[in-house]
Amino acid sequence: MTDSKHNSALGAAYAAKRPEEVAAIYDSWSETYDADMSAAGYRHPTVCLALLARHLPRGAEPLLDAGAGTGLIGEWLSITGYPRVEALDISQGMLDK
C-alpha cells in the first residue's frame, strides 16, 4: 500500500463515527494491514512488547490484548514467554488473520 493509501485507510478509521464503520474499514484492510503498517514505520508493537517485558515477569498470565488486530503482538508475546493471551478486536476480519 502506498503512503497515500495507508493514510487514507487510517484517516477513514479515525474519522468513523460508529463501531460498525470502524469494523468494516479494518475488515477490508486486514489482508495487508501488518505489511502496510510496517512499511509506514509503525513500531508501536515492538515498543509495547519491550515495555511489558520490562515490567511484567515472564509467564504472567492471562494477558488481554484489547484491540488485538491481526494478533501480531500476541504471537510475539507467546515467543517471549507470555503464552496465554486472550485477543479482542472490533474487526472479525483482523482476528481471522
| CA dist., res. 36 & res. 52, Å (int) | 24
Decide: pTM greater than 0.85. Answer: no
| CA dist., res. 62 & res. 69, Å (int) | 18
For 30, phi then psi, to 5°, come to: -60, -35
Per-residue pLDDT of 16-54, as tens digits, reads: 999 999 999 999 999 999 999 988 888 888 999 999 999
Per-residue pLDDT of 52-82, as tens digits, reads: 999 999 999 899 999 999 999 999 999 999 9
